[in-house]
Chains A and B, each alone.
Chain A
């Protein structure tokens, strides 16, 4: 018997992936992934297509049997259990609603399959319909629903069996952009309400940033970095993570010396910056300095740490003005500055590019 909280729901169970490895044919799809998801935590597996995130999700669900490694929910390994016994709720990419059944029948399916009484089925369906606010659409078929409504049904169906873990496979890919935020909030709310440990697979960094407590950035079957959205954004652990999350400017340079504040790097733009880093670099090592566009500014005059750039283009994007500038050595950079109302472009043809206050550039060995 699972421990129950006062709400009558099971308390959130941690999920542990221990050394999961899986290969298709010749190639490794998942390469020794170890991940501990705390009870009630929301983790996003983020990565480009083919990085192994979907395979990992399907292994957890039991649709694929991993070549190696263990999956543990709470303190119980579930590797030998078939998908039907794992008590994991899934929201499928295209929802996979049963097209010939009504909303009610879809939600009741898991309960009916377990042979629950008709009375319990009715009660649970009514409860779930109320939770996802679909009471009025109970007798509709899935094709008569909008994308957002279908997703609510998929959620209700997954949660009706009171799962211990919730898996979401690209849950927002099929939704209109302005509906996504609503559904992200909705899913986050339900995840909290049901005290669920959740894993979401996505290739969309904004989704991952918005909804996840922690993000595991994956590439080529491995977890490149695991951390909070802020950590991932501010302190990318590798060039891949740096490039995949947000946009950034890469400046080539050479390490001159290690100082108390960080490494002094001579940039190819004929200036030098001091960049802190946790990694070790020897003097003379070729490096790349990565700076987010919003951590750079443009100044009118030359000064220390500034280099001249010529302005190519300015794009007013909402509250920001994005300048496309080119340094003398040909490096192309994007600089994002807050836009003052009424201003649509920059004033000068040439300017001086500098790090903004509190900028936190990252240093990577040049590949």
Chain B
């Protein structure tokens, strides 16, 4: 073992300090909001004077929190349908694009990925204007269409990554052994890119769940979405139920992530 010099020690200290600071900034707000959600007080104040499940009881009360429940189900439904439709479209697009090496394919790839970098606010406004020119009234289906554009690239990207990692010799082997193209797709391609698709779906679902910019423009009073609703509550009443909603969302995401990680090695994929 080599003796560490003073500069090594300093280096380790500085890196450690920065890492600690980073973790603090990331984790501290989560801890604060969760702690606040268990407060007994009437206000969103930290630290809570005492702990209770009062606001969770309030949140799950079917009568008093009915608008929140509606908004939550709207959000889940929109996220679910947009993810499923987005996954189908993205997988088909990724399959086509990896098969073609023409420059036009690269152009399509870039344009399919562009919603990831295009400011969602601009897109939300553009979508609102576009749909009103077409005379389409705000509805859940419209929200699904709007979210679809923003979240499909997540699935597209992870699927594309899985497909480019797929050894082309596997499909040649499949064909050589007498399998049709579709048989090879079903038994070789799909199982091998499934983890990539699942990881993309997870990211897409989460991204739709907390999407504000698109929902802001495309929803109205009847099609309230959870993040918009939360923002409304925040502005008007400073209702502590917001903290409880945040707690539920964090818990749900955490559970979903653990399940996903078990199934597909999501964390490996996100860092890749």
Contacts and interface: CB of A to CB of B under 8 A. Distances in A.
A110 B173 CA distance: 9
A328 interface: no
B175 A84 contact: yes
Interface string A74-118: 000000001111111110111011111000000001101110000
B179 A113 contact: yes
B101 interface: no
A82 B175 CA distance: 8
A63 interface: yes
A161 interface: yes
Given A92-B169, A94-B169, A99 B192 contact: yes
B183 interface: yes
Summarize B's interface: helix, strand, loop or mixed: helix
A124 to B, nearest CB: 13
Interface in B140-195: 167, 169-170, 172-180, 183-184, 187-188, 191-192
Contacts of A112: 187
Nearest to A88: B176
Nearest to B172: A63
B1 to A, nearest CB: 35
Interface residues on B, range: 10 to 19
Nearest to B167: A96
Given A98-B188, A100-B191, A92 B172 contact: yes
A90 B173 CA distance: 8
The winner among A86, A96, A112, A114 for most chain B CB atoms within 10 A is: A96
A85 B173 CA distance: 13
A303 B87 CA distance: 85
A157 B167 contact: no
A298 interface: no
A100 B190 CA distance: 11
B173 A92 contact: yes
Contacts of B191: 100
A275 interface: no
A113 B174 contact: yes
Contacts of B175: 62-63, 82-84
A113 B191 CA distance: 16
Interface residues on A, range: 20 to 34
Contacts of A85: 178
Given A98-B188, A100-B191, A157 B172 contact: no
Given A92-B172, A96-B172, A100-B191, A113 B177 contact: yes
A227 to B, nearest CB: 29
A84 B172 contact: no
Contacts of B174: 98, 109, 113
A159 to B, nearest CB: 11
A212 B169 CA distance: 25
A110 B178 contact: yes
B169 A109 contact: no
The winner among B169, B173, B175, B180 for most chain A CB atoms within 10 A is: B173
Nearest to A167: B176
A49 B170 CA distance: 22
A89 B172 CA distance: 11
Nearest to A108: B177
Contacts of B183: 113
A85 B181 CA distance: 12
A61 interface: yes
Contacts of B188: 98
A109 B170 contact: no
Interface string B53-77: 0000000000000000000000000
Nearest to A85: B178
A306 to B, nearest CB: 55
B177 A161 contact: yes
A98 B183 CA distance: 14
B173 A161 contact: no
Interface of A: 61-63, 82-90, 92-94, 96-100, 109-110, 112-114, 157-158, 161
Interface of B: 167, 169-170, 172-180, 183-184, 187-188, 191-192
Query: Which 3 A/B pairs are nearest by Cβ-Cβ distance?
Result: A110-B177, A113-B179, A96-B169
18 contacts: A61-B172, A83-B172, A83-B175, A84-B176, A84-B180, A86-B176, A88-B176, A89-B176, A90-B176, A96-B172, A96-B173, A98-B187, A98-B188, A100-B192, A109-B177, A113-B180, A158-B177, A161-B178
Given A82-B175, A93-B169, A114-B178, 9 more contacts: A83-B172, A84-B178, A84-B180, A90-B173, A96-B169, A96-B170, A99-B192, A110-B179, A113-B177
